[in-house]
């Protein structure tokens, strides 16, 4: 394999780092912020190091091991990591089939296009399950068989031409580009698979994935959920779960005929996800977290917390929001009395998500530290001492109401993390 450009614009974007962060996954499961110090992360089939770079940046003090069967790929990945000055990664030539021989267990297993190696997903899940710490989490990313149907047709075509290889090169990429350029406008395969990014330098990685890697195969939810069950693993959540909500596909959920409402209500999660794909196959990959069955009670949503729980709770910004750029913009908003548009800094939900400048002043300390929620309430009372409508002093109850309401909505969207003492 030669040096193939990474999709530079994306591997270090806040959204990518958000999804690679062990903090994101662990908070979803345990409603706790995990300390990354010395946590062990493994990146299976690390390829040219795109996923390894994202893991290393998103989890700065964790120890990362990146594995691949090809020494050449490892060399390239190592060079990419060195280029970005990242020290927290070790590499090892190790085919996935021999992952079980590695003596350690891991807190976070990144299995991206790795399950493809197994004709039965259950065998792959079992291998990962054996190497997972009790509180560990696996991030799985595989192609969707339904959404990428046409890419598989394209691969079939290039296989006929003898171009599909485990370690394709710039040569094969050039041939794909040439071939797609020669097809008539309106050709169905081209219309359904060729995107503007495929023509750019940064699109080389996408050409490999979409046209040339033979090892990548597509999965359906039914196969994945059966595999999880037989390996005694539990599904935690889709990454970007809101984008998989069936209700969003209908103009008005209230208008559904009764037979459909009843059927939806009795469907398992895996059936609902499958139905989403059949109706609207917009997600080319199926990306989710799973782990050992959770023996604890599922964490209660903060909207259900008692006053007592709120009084003892702590609040943090997600680590991907703790940046100098956000701090500077927040200061600017406060001084200029302008609103803050938070999704600009971490576009994990469709924007705009607007926060008024007084509330921005209240949240400012969260860029650098975790605080008790009660500290934010005190700050709010100092920033807004009077109720502007009645001109009466802002009561403690009013201040709690304003802060709790904002934190509940920011937590639900993934921007703040709320912890209760254990
Ligand atoms: C699609 S890439 C994965 C890339 C990487 N996970 C990422 O998303 O950036 C596939 C990589 O898996 C490697 N590979 C293929 N079969 C493998 C196996 N049996 N064990 C380990 N690595 C393998 C190939 O050498 C290639 O580098």
Mean pLDDT value of segment 184-189: 93
Kindly tell me if the per-residue pLDDT of 352 is higher than 50. Answer: yes
Confidence band for 1, pLDDT divided at 50, 70 and 90: very low
User: Is the beta carbon of 47 within 6 A of some atom in ligand 1?
Assistant: yes
* Whole-angstrom distance, CA of residue 151 vs CA of residue 234: 30
Measured by CA distance, the residue closest to atom 27 of ligand 1 is 47
Confidence band for 421, pLDDT divided at 50, 70 and 90: confident
Which domains, and CATH codes, for the chain? 8-145+217-291 (3.40.50.150), 149-212 (no CATH), 302-419 (no CATH)
| Nearest ligand 1 atom, CA 208 | 1
* Whole-angstrom distance, CA of residue 18 vs CA of residue 222: 27
Alpha helices, DSSP H only, in 307-353?
307-312, 324-336
User: Is the beta carbon of 95 within 6 A of some atom in ligand 1?
Assistant: yes
The conformation of residue 39, written as its DSSP 8-state character, comes to -
User: Is the beta carbon of 215 within 6 A of some atom in ligand 1?
Assistant: yes
| Nearest ligand 1 atom, CA 96 | 20
User: Is the beta carbon of 343 within 6 A of some atom in ligand 1?
Assistant: no
| Nearest ligand 1 atom, CA 95 | 20
Which comes out higher in pLDDT, residue 336 or 165? 336
Whether residue 420 contacts residue 305, with contact meaning beta carbons closer than 8 Å, is answered with yes
Q: How confident is the model at residue 131, as a pLDDT?
A: 98
Which comes out higher in pLDDT, residue 298 or 366? 366
Whether residue 221 contacts residue 20, with contact meaning beta carbons closer than 8 Å, is answered with no
Q: For a pocket test of ligand 1, which of 68, 110, 116, 217 has the largest count of ligand atoms closer than 8 A to its C-beta?
A: 68
- Residue 308 burial (C-beta neighbours within 10 Å; 0-12, 13-18, 19+): exposed
User: Is the beta carbon of 51 within 6 A of some atom in ligand 1?
Assistant: yes
Give how far Cα 126 sits from Cα of 231, 271, 327, Å: 5, 22, 44
Give how far Cα 49 sits from Cα of 75, 117, 135, Å: 10, 19, 26
Q: How confident is the model at residue 119, as a pLDDT?
A: 86
* Whole-angstrom distance, CA of residue 240 vs CA of residue 329: 26
| Nearest ligand 1 atom, CA 117 | 19
Q: Which of 187, 205, 196, 124 is CA-nearest to residue 150?
A: 187
Q: Tell me the longest C-alpha to C-alpha distance in the chain.
A: 78
Which distant-in-sequence residues (6+ apart) come within 8 Å of 83 by Cβ?
none
User: Is the beta carbon of 216 within 6 A of some atom in ligand 1?
Assistant: yes
User: Is the beta carbon of 189 within 6 A of some atom in ligand 1?
Assistant: no
User: Is the beta carbon of 213 within 6 A of some atom in ligand 1?
Assistant: yes
Question: What are 305-341's pLDDT values in tens digits?
Answer: 999 999 999 999 999 999 999 999 999 999 999 999 9
Q: How confident is the model at residue 201, as a pLDDT?
A: 83
Kindly tell me if the per-residue pLDDT of 2 is higher than 50. Answer: no
The conformation of residue 345, written as its DSSP 8-state character, comes to T
DSSP 176-224: HHHHHHHSPTT-HHHHHH--GGGGSGGGHHHHIIIII-TT--EE-HHHH
Which distant-in-sequence residues (6+ apart) come within 8 Å of 373 by Cβ?
310, 311, 313, 314, 315, 403, 404, 407, 418
User: Rounded to the nearest whole angstrom, what is the distance from the C-alpha of residue 92 to the centroid of ligand 1?
Assistant: 13
User: Rounded to the nearest whole angstrom, what is the distance from the C-alpha of residue 6 to the centroid of ligand 1?
Assistant: 15
Tokens representing 389 are: 């409508």
Confidence band for 5, pLDDT divided at 50, 70 and 90: low
User: Rounded to the nearest whole angstrom, what is the distance from the C-alpha of residue 291 to the centroid of ligand 1?
Assistant: 22
* Whole-angstrom distance, CA of residue 100 vs CA of residue 121: 16
DSSP 222-286: HHHHHHHHHTT-EEEEETTGGGG-GGGGSS-GGGS-HHHHHHHHH--HHHHHHHHHHH----SEE
| Nearest ligand 1 atom, CA 205 | 9
* Whole-angstrom distance, CA of residue 314 vs CA of residue 310: 8
The conformation of residue 420, written as its DSSP 8-state character, comes to -
- Residue 5 burial (C-beta neighbours within 10 Å; 0-12, 13-18, 19+): middle
Q: How confident is the model at residue 311, as a pLDDT?
A: 97
Question: What are 212-265's pLDDT values in tens digits?
Answer: 988 678 999 999 999 999 999 999 999 999 899 998 999 998 899 999 999 999
User: Rounded to the nearest whole angstrom, what is the distance from the C-alpha of residue 96 to the centroid of ligand 1?
Assistant: 9
Per-chain mean pLDDT for the chain: 93
């Amino acid at each position: 394999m030669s040096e193939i450009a990474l999709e530079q614009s994306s591997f270090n974007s806040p959204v990518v780092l958000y999804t690679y962060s062990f903090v994101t996954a662990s908070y979803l499961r345990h409603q706790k912020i995990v300390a990354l110090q010395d946590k062990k992360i493994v990146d299976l089939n690390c390829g040219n190091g795109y996923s390894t770079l994202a893991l290393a940046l998103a989890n700065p003090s964790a120890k990362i091991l990146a594995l691949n069967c090809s020494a050449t790929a490892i060399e390239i990945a190592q060079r990419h990591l060195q280029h970005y000055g990242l020290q927290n990664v070790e590499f090892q030539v190790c085919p996935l089939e021999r992952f079980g021989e590695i003596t350690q267990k891991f807190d976070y297993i990144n299995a991206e296009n790795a399950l493809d190696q197994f004709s039965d997903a259950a065998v792959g899940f079992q291998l990962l399950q054996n190497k997972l710490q009790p509180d560990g989490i696996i991030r799985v990313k595989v192609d969707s068989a339904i959404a990428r149907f046409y890419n598989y047709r394209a691969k079939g075509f290039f296989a006929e031409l003898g171009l599909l290889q485990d370690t394709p090169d710039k040569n094969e990429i050039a041939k794909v580009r040439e071939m797609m350029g020669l097809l008539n406008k309106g050709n169905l395969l081209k219309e359904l698979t060729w995107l503007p990014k495929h023509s750019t330098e940064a699109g080389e990685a996408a050409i490999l994935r979409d046209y040339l890697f033979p090892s990548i195969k597509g999965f359906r939810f039914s196969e994945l959920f059966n595999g999880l069950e037989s390996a005694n693993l539990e599904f935690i959540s889709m990454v970007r779960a809101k984008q998989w909500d069936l209700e969003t596909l209908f103009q008005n959920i209230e208008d559904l005929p009764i037979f459909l409402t009843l059927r939806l209500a009795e469907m398992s999660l895996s059936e609902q996800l499958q139905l989403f794909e059949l109706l609207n196959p917009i997600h080319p990959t199926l990306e989710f977290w799973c782990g050992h069955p959770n023996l604890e009670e599922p964490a209660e949503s903060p909207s259900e917390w008692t006053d007592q729980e709120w009084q003892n709770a702590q609040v943090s910004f997600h680590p991907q929001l703790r940046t100098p750029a956000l701090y500077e913009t927040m200061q600017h908003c406060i001084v200029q009395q302008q609103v803050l548009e938070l999704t600009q800094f971490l576009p994990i939900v469709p924007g705009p998500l607007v926060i008024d400048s007084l509330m921005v002043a209240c949240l400012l300390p969260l860029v650098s530290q975790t605080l008790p929620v009660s500290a934010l309430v005190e700050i709010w009372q100092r920033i807004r001492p009077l109720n502007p409508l009645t001109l009466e002093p802002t009561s403690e109850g009013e201040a709690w109401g304003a802060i709790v309401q904002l934190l509940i909505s920011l937590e639900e969207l993934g921007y703040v993390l709320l912890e209760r003492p254990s």
